[in-house]
Amino acid sequence: MAESAVAAWVAELRLAYESGAHGQFVLYGNVADRFPLDGRLVSLTRYLEAKLLGTFDIVFVYDPGNGLSLLRGGERFAQWPAAEQVRPWPHDPREAVELISRYLRYRANLTALGRGDNEHVAVILRGAELVLPASRQGDFASASLASLVRDWAAEPPFSDMAFASLLLADNLNDLHPLVANNPRIDRVQVPLPDAASLGQCLAQLRIDHPAAFAAENGATVAALAGVSLSALASLVKRRAHQGQVLGAQDWIEAKKELVENDSAGLVEFIESKRTLDDYHAQEALKVWLRQDMALWQASDLRALPKGYIFCGPVGTGKTYLVECLAGEAGVPVVKLKNFRDRWVGSSEGNLEKIFRLIRGLGRCIVFIDEADQSLGKRDGGSGDSGLSGRLYSMIAQEMGDADNRGKVIWILASSRPDLIEVDLKRPGRVDVKIPLLPTTTRAESAALLKALLGRFELKLESKALVKLALPLLLTPGAAEALAVKVYRQVRTAQMQPLAALEHCLQGYQPPVPEQVLRLQMSIAIREATDMAFVPESLRHLAEENLSP
């Protein structure tokens, strides 16, 4: 595997150390992945040793599973008079940190006496969030250990030596705040693999495991954006062992599986084949959305919204519209699932992981359903120890990030958009608010029912449907439920589709009470960015005072 140029984050870390700006670094993000080095995929520890620590005389490594060890410099370390007492190597994190500190002070004393050389020492602390967890920030023992590690960054003699400490953590928010928020520590995000790394990995895997590849490689680097190298290598090795060739469709399905697995179930990854042709809505709405998607595909971003709110009564097809919009744009959808956790710092860490994945995917739509429940509040109160406020702040910052324009479009869906914080709905985060409303005429109800009955291979003409006493204020969800009942009658009672529909309409009850429906419609209409999205027959609802 041809070795790529040094990644930007590696160059950033090297500059910070060699300039003397920082001696301690928190590396977070894609730290559990593999990295291309000399034709192999290696761990981050080995990658750092080769790329950054080649001139260091002694390199310590500590992780909670294996304890403390030496990656390099055993002979030098043995010259320390106290080295004989280090048997066995400490496994407890405090003992390991204290041993390293004692050795560094010994080297500093030798230098002060004019008897030591300028020895370069480095420490790699793997699983730093397990050693210094944010969840134990109120615990004295944990705070004491964090204080010792923090001293390596700013206190003499450590700050005066050729000494680098690298703390590896999956998520910055999982790390003890004494370390994570220390201004003397440089925080460096390790991103998901770039196009060059993915291309090199694929090329090498094709050589090492040809049984998994067709004559024409169905995978493109762009199609694999957001996939880690370790996940990609695991997939190819399994398929090669099974003798199964990965075709073009396999790569699409594999990406979905790999992304969801890498995110630990925090997101649902959707590749949509639908377009706006599959969605029944006001023509003004579809025209607007098509224009936006055309701007996005042309990379004309000046008039492109950064986000939408799809609002309207339950059952109006908000999720379905997101899939249609993604298919129109030719981009994947990342649907956020339940990222809240009961452990301190875990929810923030989950969001951090999701944001990292979103940035690695390239162009995508991020979909948050039930946004009024999921996004938190600016002032979450004391009931959740401020969690809602912290989550709100993280999401608001990410949605407003100017670097995301043209890469990410945020879509919030809610039947109660009035409960979403105003700051999240402002231009620059959400530029367009679109009401999704039920049918207002018998012709619209007929067109909706015809489309949904067609999915069950029940073909009825619009002329015949219009003659029936079809309900108004029919949502796609209610229409689908009605179509299922019709299909059931056709299959079980051997009725003709039209007769079955007439039978099902007798005594029909809407699934959502009309009062609730009208309230949610009124709220959605008042939120609308443009009244062109609202049928004239419903615009009066914006003036109604309906109590929740």
Name the residue type at position 309.
Answer: I
The verdict on 242 and 328 lying in the same domain is: no
Are 371 and 414 spatial neighbours (Cβ–Cβ below 8 Å)? yes
Are 199 and 157 spatial neighbours (Cβ–Cβ below 8 Å)? no
Are 509 and 525 spatial neighbours (Cβ–Cβ below 8 Å)? no
Does a cis peptide bond (omega within 30 degrees of 0) precede residue 177? Answer: no
Contacts of 80 (CB under 8 A, 6+ apart): 103, 106
Instruction: Answer yes or no: is 541 within a domain.
Output: no
The verdict on 483 and 335 lying in the same domain is: no
> Pick from 170, 190, 210: which residue ends a domain?
190
Which pTM does this prediction carry? 0.73
Are 333 and 270 spatial neighbours (Cβ–Cβ below 8 Å)? yes
pLDDT attached to residue 65: 92
Instruction: Answer yes or no: is 528 within a domain.
Output: no
C-alpha distances (whole Å) from 191 to each of 34, 265, 298, 358 are 12, 19, 27, 11
Please state, in angstroms and rounded to a whole number, the distance separating the CA atoms of residues 1 and 143: 44
Instruction: Answer yes or no: is 536 within a domain.
Output: no
Instruction: Answer yes or no: is 548 within a domain.
Output: no
The verdict on 139 and 29 lying in the same domain is: yes
> Pick from 435, 461, 485: which residue ends a domain?
435
The verdict on 479 and 345 lying in the same domain is: no
The verdict on 153 and 240 lying in the same domain is: no
pLDDT attached to residue 383: 58
Instruction: Answer yes or no: is 35 within a domain.
Output: yes
Query: Across the chain, how many H-helices and E-strands are there?
Result: 21, 14
The verdict on 314 and 352 lying in the same domain is: yes
Please state, in angstroms and rounded to a whole number, the distance separating the CA atoms of residues 285 and 278: 14
The verdict on 359 and 406 lying in the same domain is: yes
Structural domain for 239, as ranges: 195-262
Instruction: Answer yes or no: is 256 within a domain.
Output: yes
The verdict on 250 and 358 lying in the same domain is: no
The verdict on 295 and 430 lying in the same domain is: yes
Number of domains in the chain: 4
Are 538 and 504 spatial neighbours (Cβ–Cβ below 8 Å)? no
Helix axes 318-329, 283-297, angle to 10 degrees: 40
CB atoms within 10 A of CB 22: 20
Please state, in angstroms and rounded to a whole number, the distance separating the CA atoms of residues 349 and 358: 14
Instruction: Answer yes or no: is 538 within a domain.
Output: no
SS3 (DSSP) at 303: coil
The verdict on 95 and 13 lying in the same domain is: yes
CATH (domain of 100): 3.40.50.300
> Pick from 172, 190, 208: which residue ends a domain?
190
Considering Cα of 54, then 57, then 62, then 66, what sign does the dihedral take? positive
In this prediction, the residues of the chain whose per-residue pLDDT falls under 70 are 1-6, 215-220, 222, 249, 262, 342-345, 379-385, 544-548
Please state, in angstroms and rounded to a whole number, the distance separating the CA atoms of residues 112 and 119: 13
The verdict on 167 and 104 lying in the same domain is: yes
pLDDT tens, residue by residue, 18-44: 999 999 999 998 999 999 888 888 999
Could you tell me how far CA 113 lies from the centroid of its own chain? 53
Please state, in angstroms and rounded to a whole number, the distance separating the CA atoms of residues 198 and 200: 6
Instruction: Answer yes or no: is 481 within a domain.
Output: yes
pLDDT attached to residue 345: 66
The verdict on 58 and 186 lying in the same domain is: yes
C-alpha distances (whole Å) from 336 to each of 319, 395, 471 are 12, 12, 34
Are 432 and 529 spatial neighbours (Cβ–Cβ below 8 Å)? yes
Q: Which residue has the tokens 């995929």?
A: 41
CB environment 51-66: b (16+ within 10 A), e (fewer): bbbeebbbbbbbbeee
pLDDT attached to residue 2: 37
Query: Could you tell me the two tokens for 248?
Result: 């073009």
Helix (H), strand (E), coil (C) string for 45-114 = HHHHHHHCCCCCCEEEEEECCCEEEEEECHHHHHCCHHHHHCCCCCCCHHHHHHHHHHHHHHHHHHHHCC
Please state, in angstroms and rounded to a whole number, the distance separating the CA atoms of residues 296 and 364: 11
